Structure 1
Amino acid sequence: MKFKLLAASIAVAISQQAVAATYQLTELPRHANSKYTNVSDANEAGEVIGQASNLFGVKIDVSYIDFDDSNLKNYYDNAKLQYEKIDEPITFTLDDIQNNNAANTNAQAHAFMLSYITSASRSASLEYQQVNRSISLMFNNNTAEEFVVFDEQSPDYQGLTRSVSNYLTGIADDGTIVGWGSAPYKKITFTKDGETEVDTYFVRDWRNKGVLITPAGEKIALEPAFAEHGGLSLATDIKQTNDGGYVVVGQSSTSLSKRTIESIEDNCDGVDEPVEVCIQRLSNPYHTRAYKWTFDNDFNLTSATDLGLAFTPDEDSEIAYSSIAIATNANGLTVGDSRARRQSNDDLLPNDQAVYFKEGEIKRIKEVESFYEYSQAIDVNDNGIIIGAFGRTANGSKENDSTGFYFDTNTSEFKEMPAYFENSVTVVNDINNNGFVVGQGVVEKSGSSRRREAFLYEIGADKLVNINSLLPCKSDDFPYTIGEAVKITDDNKIYAVATKTVERRNTLGEIEKDSKGEIEYESVTLPVVLTPISGEPETCTPPEAETYERQSASWSWLSLLALPLVALRRRRK
């Protein structure tokens, strides 16, 4: 590899011709007991953290279920009808679930009960088991192992409760990790005043709490600044400082909104339901602020700082306002978003706006062109280049309108990034210190579910490049499509999420077969690392269904191979 890098750097020096670099793909381990495995961050040493979803075999607790409930019976009848429509017999009854543990042994029954208890109305009621099939992962050379943030062993069935959210979001150069998780739900009983019937509810001690995980595996909770009714905190990024300490950024609750206080006083009296159930149903109860925590090199907390809000709320305002820090660099420059006012007329904007936090100030990155415009700063490199996205909400959704941008804090230059085509939705994820950005963009101009593929972009270039065009052509020997690029390190390795066709598995993890007994297949996500190598990419013949014409590079991709030599000199000791 050193020889290839040296040869590449010489080629750049003696030739003005742009020759595209290619990437070598290596699969990272998949979590063995989940359908999907993704990567969330990696450091320069190659240590990787991630997430798995659609966990197999989650235990279903039916001890509290009322099997005489007409809603449950109707749900079963509808499920039976759906099986009949595809000419497949249903293999369980409600009696099997109630008396024979079918919900944890029969794949159809397991999927049925999982669907029933996690439907939006039942999950929100807190009268049903709370299930989250997503887990956090730490990768090593051979496996992707679950890392338990705050979950606990269930008192009702064997194993963890599987009722929590878990996210590992950032990893420092020495392997220190940050993230957050929710408290596990616990089952309580309640009897309304004047009644004898006992109701079951599921409650938790707090919503989310940030966590720092040392290289030795010790978990240090980031307690919220305001912890009434549990509070809330998140950790989104971490950087190691020159003196060996750490800067962690994220968000913390700072107070309850006036509307929440009034709602608790008026409604949460403990007469018709437990007080904690009433409170936990409230949405957005807290004022939350971007927060920064600093630790010394022995992981002692040395400061916790409220980074503020981008405007001053009216004194009589009843609703909760928020800001959040998403990323920070080695120089302490932190980026994120905040509620804000329109700069031209001081109107309060309905959507969050991209900001950066520096030396006690909050600075807006761009002025809105539309009242319904939103923006968010996603990452910042050590040179002060911020990347993010902006767009306009439509019916409260940001999914169909997102444009990448970069902003130079040294010159205040704001630039919109190019996209695969005009109006293609673009999502940016990471920027390295060499000025390369990775993310994903829509590559199909029409269709109800338009495909997205990963891109690589150099700050200042005229176009972004589809990462798949820098890989071998798709074939039986190379069955990958890179849907999202998540991280690019300073040696230009790209950590990404690929799709691949594998055997279909049901919710218990069993391989599924069709009516003829033949194995069925499906597309899943898996984590990969892409390493720069010298050479020119293949010229691929796109399949008939392909609607996006692959771009050739318009700038010197061989510079990607030379840059690691520079990056090694820049890296902090």
Structure 2
Amino acid sequence: MNTKLFIKSVLATAFIAQSGQAFAAQYEIKEIAPLDKYKQHFSMGLNDSGTVVGITRDTFNFPFYLESYLDAYKTSCGLSDSELASGIFDASSTKCLGNELAEYSGNPLYQKVGSSKSFISSGSDTSLAILTDVEDSELGDYTHSNLEELKAINATNIAVGTASAPFIPVDFTYTSDDNISTDVRFWQRDYKTRAVVYVNGVGTNIEPAFSEYGGVTSAVDISDSGYVAGYSSIALVEAAQTSIETDCTNESSPLLVCVWTTQLSGEIYTKRPYIWQVDDFGEVLSSTEFGLAFTPTETQTGTYTAIITAVNDDGVGVGYGQIPNSDENIRTQPLLFGPDGTESLIDNDLYDAGYATDINSSNIVVGKVQTYYDGTYNDEFFVYDILNDELQIPTTFYTTAESSANAINDLGKVVGEAEYEVTTDTVRRKHGFIYDINTKELFDINDLIGCNSEFEIVEMKDINNNNQIAATALKLVEYRDSLGNFLYDSAGEAYMEQVAVSVLLSPISGEIETCSEDEADKYERKGLSSTPMLLIFLSTLLYIRRKSI
């Protein structure tokens, strides 16, 4: 059955509540109780009970293995002899080593430093959610060598996300051509990524359809009915297979170390979108593989992609992928994943690219379209009604402001981010917005939280059916160094810094406040201005979260 016809038949037999109730004129903002070991916290998703999942970054007092390779950083990181002998590093050394040993660094002889863990917050309780990391007796802590990101949580408190495998030290004996044996310690991981279903404090991996050399899976969304959206490896890329078979002989390094090194040069797996259905315990009941949105010809030999980003309760997914146009140029377009397989979602030649990010129970889709001019892609958020084939491109804070939508609830409320600053600067500040598809009203969420807020909301990731919003805000706090210590000037005044904090927004009865000129300028006055370097930093975090694992 054609997916759009399937959607029409579902809507014909089921009553979908479409409330005409407008959202409250004002929102109460609550900071998610922070985990003290981490500097920054980002919201990713929430359910109708207001339980939020998110990620943390920047671990305080990071643990290091005391290895001889640290001598290589003695000059560049200013390591003292006493630090190298004791393994107790000051704040400057800890920060420098953390940067040098980042998870994506290319030397398998050195420890790897991962930068993100996940959390779940309900009410006043926030707890760390360990997905794939393991405790190491030598460190006396988790390895903190991987990336772990919970992305969504459903009504039955089943959360899903993606995590890389931890890097574990393994001892290896290398024998040279003249038969001299040398013992070497490598840092090795079993796979690149796994989709993880997290239930009652326990993470269960979804294994790949093709698992040679570890394989990969990823999960990005879960519906209340238990459908999980993500992808799985289905084969090796031909060039990667040739490289691994030629170079990874288990003679000079362990096999998986060599495979990891190969992955640093490019993707080694062919991946396809998947929708799994899981039970209340996180076990997979069924799986559906989806193909590309087109069938490549003999001359179309590239590594084409299709990505699923969200799934609704009927098991209908949306995302994006590559489709050649009439001139054989490849364009990225919003895609639909359903009973008829993978289909183009929006047939519109007015835009150069597009990405679908969410779909609600009424099969309303949101995302962004892109127009290419002045040497760059410019984003505008869209709302698309599958049933009626209606596309909206609303204006946000001003007509040329770039914008993107992240989520839509069943009441027709859309959340995302848009540029609100009119400037010729390359980097423009963004605020979270909320848009009602029924009334066509759009608001800067910062205008709905009161004039004296200490928060500047810059990212809106999810909205539930009670109109609560999982968001990330900037907040001015006392500065803490890499060991977690507060720093003070000669007068005893604390140094301050701006950090990202996870917040939950809840609608309350009230009127939109009219702020005075001083209050309207509160971000600058309170030191909460988003400087270009901070915006670049936040953009980098978003890129890492979406692309690196």
Q: TM-score, normalised by structure 1?
A: 0.80
Quote the offset at 1:234 in angstroms: 1.0
**2:216 counterpart of 1:232:** yes
CA shift in 2, pair 1:280/1:393, >3 Å: farther
Which deviates further from its counterpart, 155-164 or 295-304? 295-304
Counterpart of 1:377? 356
Q: Which sections of structure 2, spanning at least 5 residues, go unmatched?
A: 1-19, 524-549
**2:83 counterpart of 1:97:** yes
Query: Which digits, 9 at most, give the CA deviation of each residue in 1:106-136, with x for residues without a partner?
Result: 212212222232396xx12333211112110
CA shift in 2, pair 1:310/1:196, >3 Å: same
Partners of 1:300 and 1:227 in 2: CA distance: 18
Quote the offset at 1:524 in angstroms: 1.6
Partners of 1:408 and 1:460 in 2: CA distance: 12
**2:387 counterpart of 1:410:** yes
**2:507 counterpart of 1:527:** no
Are the aligned partners of 1:58 and 1:133 in contact in 2 as well (CA < 8 Å)? no
What SS does the corresponding residue of 1:75 show, helix, strand or coil?
coil
**2:31 counterpart of 1:30:** no
Flag the structure with larger Rg.
1
What SS does the corresponding residue of 2:466 show, helix, strand or coil?
coil
Counterpart of 1:84? none
**2:227 counterpart of 1:247:** yes
Counterpart of 1:458? 436
Counterpart of 1:53? 57
Equivalent residues, number: 497
Which deviates further from its counterpart, 456-465 or 374-383? 456-465
Quote the offset at 1:154 in angstroms: 1.5
**2:298 counterpart of 1:294:** no
Q: TM-score, normalised by structure 2?
A: 0.83
Partners of 1:448 and 1:457 in 2: CA distance: 26
What SS does the corresponding residue of 2:396 show, helix, strand or coil?
coil
Query: Which digits, 9 at most, give the CA deviation of each residue in 1:60-81, with x for residues without a partner?
Result: 12314152x4xx34414xx6xx
CA shift in 2, pair 1:218/1:189, >3 Å: closer
What SS does the corresponding residue of 2:240 show, helix, strand or coil?
helix
Work out which of the residue numbers 334, 351, 354 in structure 2 matches 1:354.
334
Quote the offset at 1:415 in angstroms: 2.2
What SS does the corresponding residue of 2:245 show, helix, strand or coil?
helix
Opposite residue 75 of structure 1, the aligned amino acid is S
Counterpart of 1:324? 307
Counterpart of 2:401? 424
- Give the root-mean-square deviation of aligned CA atoms: 2.9
CA shift in 2, pair 1:66/1:218, >3 Å: closer
Partners of 2:185 and 2:298 in 1: CA distance: 40
Work out which of the residue numbers 511, 518, 538 in structure 2 matches 1:536.
511
Partners of 1:393 and 1:272 in 2: CA distance: 47
Are the aligned partners of 1:239 and 1:329 in contact in 2 as well (CA < 8 Å)? yes
Partners of 2:426 and 2:140 in 1: CA distance: 42
What SS does the corresponding residue of 1:131 show, helix, strand or coil?
coil
Partners of 2:46 and 2:23 in 1: CA distance: 28
What SS does the corresponding residue of 2:482 show, helix, strand or coil?
coil
Are the aligned partners of 1:444 and 1:547 in contact in 2 as well (CA < 8 Å)? no
Quote the offset at 1:137 in angstroms: 0.3
Partners of 1:115 and 1:212 in 2: CA distance: 30
CA shift in 2, pair 1:384/1:368, >3 Å: closer
Q: How does 1:189-200 map to 2 (within 5 A)?
A: 189-190=171-172, 191=174, 193-194=176-177, 198-200=183-185
Quote the offset at 1:302 in angstroms: 2.5
Counterpart of 2:151? 169
Are the aligned partners of 1:259 and 1:319 in contact in 2 as well (CA < 8 Å)? no
Counterpart of 2:531? none
Are the aligned partners of 2:319 and 2:357 in contact in 1 as well (CA < 8 Å)? yes
Counterpart of 1:213? 198
Quote the offset at 1:159 in angstroms: 0.5
CA shift in 2, pair 1:270/1:97, >3 Å: same
Are the aligned partners of 1:486 and 1:496 in contact in 2 as well (CA < 8 Å)? yes
Query: Which digits, 9 at most, give the CA deviation of each residue in 1:372-413, with x for residues without a partner?
Result: x43211000111100011225799986xx3211111110222
Query: Which digits, 9 at most, give the CA deviation of each residue in 1:214-242, with x for residues without a partner?
Result: 3x33433211111011011111111233x
Q: How does 1:17-166 map to 2 (within 5 A)?
A: 21-65=25-69, 67=71, 69=72, 72-76=73-77, 93-103=79-89, 106-118=90-102, 123-166=105-148
Counterpart of 2:3? none
Partners of 1:448 and 1:218 in 2: CA distance: 44
Query: Which digits, 9 at most, give the CA deviation of each residue in 1:294-320, with x for residues without a partner?
Result: 234565532111022112234576653
Partners of 2:44 and 2:171 in 1: CA distance: 38
Counterpart of 1:86? none
Partners of 2:142 and 2:24 in 1: CA distance: 49
Counterpart of 2:544? none
Opposite residue 456 of structure 2, the aligned amino acid is T
Query: Which digits, 9 at most, give the CA deviation of each residue in 1:253-282, with x for residues without a partner?
Result: 111111211222333334554432232132
Partners of 1:166 and 1:20 in 2: CA distance: 35
Are the aligned partners of 1:30 and 1:143 in contact in 2 as well (CA < 8 Å)? no
CA shift in 2, pair 1:511/1:179, >3 Å: same
What SS does the corresponding residue of 1:469 show, helix, strand or coil?
helix
Partners of 2:520 and 2:110 in 1: CA distance: 44
Partners of 2:141 and 2:366 in 1: CA distance: 42
Are the aligned partners of 1:20 and 1:537 in contact in 2 as well (CA < 8 Å)? no
CA shift in 2, pair 1:298/1:98, >3 Å: closer
Quote the offset at 1:176 in angstroms: 1.4
Quote the offset at 1:461 in angstroms: 5.4
What SS does the corresponding residue of 2:290 show, helix, strand or coil?
strand
Query: Which digits, 9 at most, give the CA deviation of each residue in 1:400-435, with x for residues without a partner?
Result: x32111111102222223222233221211101111
Query: Which digits, 9 at most, give the CA deviation of each residue in 1:65-109, with x for residues without a partner?
Result: 152x4xx34414xx6xxxxxxxxxxxxx43122112232xx2122
Work out which of the residue numbers 187, 208, 211 in structure 2 matches 1:202.
187
Quote the offset at 1:452 in angstroms: 1.2
Are the aligned partners of 1:482 and 1:496 in contact in 2 as well (CA < 8 Å)? yes
CA shift in 2, pair 1:208/1:274, >3 Å: same
Are the aligned partners of 1:469 and 1:537 in contact in 2 as well (CA < 8 Å)? yes
Partners of 1:516 and 1:41 in 2: CA distance: 42
Counterpart of 1:440? 417
Work out which of the residue numbers 365, 387, 399 in structure 1 matches 2:366.
387
Partners of 2:109 and 2:301 in 1: CA distance: 29
Counterpart of 2:460? 485
Q: Percent identity?
A: 28
Are the aligned partners of 1:418 and 1:463 in contact in 2 as well (CA < 8 Å)? no
CA shift in 2, pair 1:355/1:547, >3 Å: farther
Quote the offset at 1:544 in angstroms: 9.8
Are the aligned partners of 2:432 and 2:459 in contact in 1 as well (CA < 8 Å)? yes
Quote the offset at 1:482 in angstroms: 1.4
What SS does the corresponding residue of 1:279 show, helix, strand or coil?
helix
Are the aligned partners of 1:210 and 1:235 in contact in 2 as well (CA < 8 Å)? yes
CA shift in 2, pair 1:393/1:544, >3 Å: farther
